[in-house]
Chain A
Amino acid sequence: MKTIPLEAYLIVSIVLFGLGVFGMIVRRNLVTVLMSMELALNAVNVLFVGADSHLSLVDGQIFALFIIALAAAEAAVGLGIIIAIFRLRKVDSTDEITDMRG
């Protein structure tokens, strides 16, 4: 298990996180924006578990556990808001969310 250096996992984590944040900015569909946010949170989890296996501690895995659970909660609320938006205005793209200006 220690044959793979930690740097390799960190590079994977960075790539995932960068692409996740990039996806949040670039994607048009509201649901895929939320999905990219979950992607970024998965990247954070990879960092924590990788760090944990190197340091032989468990605190990082516990943080990753909390991140998984609370990301689920946030996704639930986000999807609820999307359903509410769609009911009110039948909109499904971030283009349409430009009511407020200034």
Chain B
Amino acid sequence: MNSTLQTHARAAADDVTLVTERLVRDYGERAVTTHAIREQHSHGEGLADAGMPDIVVFPRTNEEVASIVRVCNAARIPVIAFGVGTSLEGHVAALYGGVCIDLSQMDRVLEVNDADLDCRVQAGVTREALNAELKGTGLFFPIDPGANATLGGMASTRASGTNAVRYGTMRENVLGLTVVTADGRIVHTGGRARKSSAGYDLTRLFVGSEGTLGIITEVQLRLYGLPEAISAAVCQFADLKGAVDTVIVAMQLGIPVARIELLDDVQMDACIRYSRLDEFDARPTLFFEFHGTEAGVREQAETIESIAAEHGGSRFQWATAQEERSRLWKARHNAYYAALALAPGTQAFATDACVPISRLTECVLETREDVESTGLIAPIVGHVGDGNFHLVVLFDPTQPEQRAKAEGLAARVSARAIRMGGTCTGEHGIGVHKLDALVAEHGDAVSLMQAIKRALDPNDILNPGKTVPASP
């Protein structure tokens, strides 16, 4: 899958030794070379890729990160930033060895500006930790990719999640960054002003750059007032088409739904078993969440319920109490594990197609037929309000032909999305697994991305082999 990956010479063993010795001297117990820790830092939650870092360092300040990067840049040794390792696309694999910078000890919330609805955090703060810190302020940070990722990692991969349909992705919610550049300097981008037309948009350039242009050490985030009313509803459909069409109509009308999630019958079956959602049937299902004033929420829900009814949807089953809602969304977030539990002993990976909403029905139905023709188990689940959906493709790792089938299916999903004017990566990023697809999608823009990579990281030390194919 990564044939476009160019060979990047591994740094000479002597140089690596000098650097690791230096880091151990400088950081003591916070520089670790044990096999267990290096192995733990060699992969995210997706499929394992070959590549362990030579050392893992745990800095606590911007200056420490900068000094580590300077040492590595001088020796031309790769640097890979690591949050909590929830990436699904192999972003953190140390393909050429090098130094892994684990940012988990940079876990302080630096400021919360209630009146301006913004805050500043260190990169290692997780989204759940931030929301816990915000308790009592009446504010929250909505972006929710499922995993309890770090905010630095979410910024690096331009994460989105179940409520992007209302609140946007990290692209819309990062106001500014502190970034350590490849030459080990500290750059501040953006800021607390709501808008600025001064200079190029470095903030958004670093957001989604997957650690290949700089290492994000601090993130300025937009916050939102907790809605007065929140309620969740479940609607089950006779067929997949009715469910997807309901979403399309709702989006066209611009109803500000906070979340819309599609689960096909296979995924619903998996979730019913795994999360004991016994009150539901294994049918195509939409989960909704509405945020707003009491009256606004009621009005949104009534409108959508009537759209759903026209498309063969059931009456809404409501969950208004906090515990009930949490139970539903927990079930949704555990969809990946629920799918895995359908066939114990299998492995899985997730595809990440995103198409214009007007092509969504066509894309989902074609994909579903494709899955059936392969005989694989691959439930569909997705943030369909954005046109984004995932297949969780299960395969038996002991059977090479199954893996080949699964990879073939994933390649077709990407190609189909691109053919329909969409993308192969709505939210998980490129990492190493999707470099080929990036070239297919972006054509000439890839050479510009390579030129930017060369301009900002001339020695190619930052997360080499990821995000953009190496320059020819």
| A in complex with B | no
